[in-house]
Amino acid sequence: MNGFVNLIKPCGATASDMVVCLKHIYSVKKVGHMGTLDPGAVGVLPVAVGKATCLFDYLTDKRKVYRAWFTFGKTTDTLDSYGKVTETSDVPDFNDVKLAVKNFVGQIQQIPPLYSAVNINGRRAYDLARRGQPVQLKSRTVNVYSIDIVRTEGNDTFVFDIECGGGTYIRSLCRDIASSLGCVAYMSALIRMSSGPFDISSAVTIDEVRVDPLKYLLPLDVALTGVDDYVFDGTLYKKLCDGFRPECSFDGYKKIYCNGVLFGLGRCSDGRLNLDYYLKDANN
């Protein structure tokens, strides 16, 4: 049982909760989500089932699109609506916010929230924070491709559409935008609209999957939409099965096929094929 589920994570559940559910539904041990969502967030949660998990590293860094609600004038210890209010401030003007967000588009430095799943010496940051233990989080480089103000709600909440790379914390973005304006804010709601090739328009609920698991188990190549094919001659089939690295010449990653079988995701290295993500056995 191998493939992907384009799941909608509901509010209140963790991404890990969804993984546990799918393990039971598909009766497989290897299941993993492609980029966590906070319990209070909803939306697209791509989940790999079986040998599709070998694409984890390739997919977690793909572009993601969010609709986010930032409420200005107060903040919380968790930087979302589930935490305790720790500070208040004035609410900035619309035009000031519009100008400020421009400074957060591009490659930026960002410190993850104190309450996050970042691993610190084998412990999650949120576990340490809940126990009142000191947490030292390092700044990281993230990519933000666009931030657009969709509308305002009331006099303190701004709704944004944000496109960013993997590893970007929207709560941190909210905190830092507010800080640049000399005020505070928290993320009051979040919807992930897409993650790589997985879009909310075709996402399904866990209840739908329970009713018809096979219907919603997507094939491996769905996750590789936009990656070009590279086909090797059928005479190389057995050699490829045995790990042979034939000569090739192409740039970037390609979907490697031979005799109609998807062998995996590969690239050229020193003029020969490197199958960085081997998928042949996952086609069964």
DSSP letters, 208-243, are HHHH-TGGG-B-GGGGGTTPPEEEE-GGGHHHHHTT
For residue 281, what is the DSSP state? G
Instruction: Give residue 220's pLDDT.
Output: 86
Of the candidates 86, 108, 122, which has an alpha carbon nearest to the alpha carbon of residue 180? 108
What stretches in the chain show pLDDT beneath 70?
A: 115-126, 128-129, 131-134, 282-284
Q: Residue 267 forms beta bridges with which residues?
A: 274
Is 64-195's fold the same as 227-283's? no
**Which residues carry out catalysis?**
38
State residue 103's pLDDT score: 97
Distance between start and end Cα atoms, the chain: 8
Angle CA 155–64–172, to nearest 5: 50
- Residues 257-278: pLDDT tens digits? 999 999 999 999 999 999 988 8
Give the integer Cα–Cα distance in Å for 216 and 53: 17
Output the pLDDT for position 120.
64
Which residue's entry shows tokens 């993650």?
195
The CATH topology of domain 64-195 is: Pseudouridine synthase (3.30.2350)
Q: What is the CATH number of domain 227-283?
A: 2.30.130
Q: Which amino acid appears at position 171 of this protein?
A: R
Element (H, E) at 261: strand 261-269
Q: Where are the domains of the chain?
A: 3-62+198-223, 64-195, 227-283
- The confidence score (pLDDT) of residue 59 equals 82
Handedness of CA 158, 159, 162, 167 (dihedral sign): positive
CA-based torsion, 244, 246, 251, 253: positive or negative: negative
Can you name the CATH fold of 3-62+198-223?
Pseudouridine synthase (3.30.2350)
Using alpha carbons, list the distances in angstroms from residue 19 to 5, 37, 98, 126, 223: 10, 12, 38, 20, 18
Say which DSSP state 200 is in. G
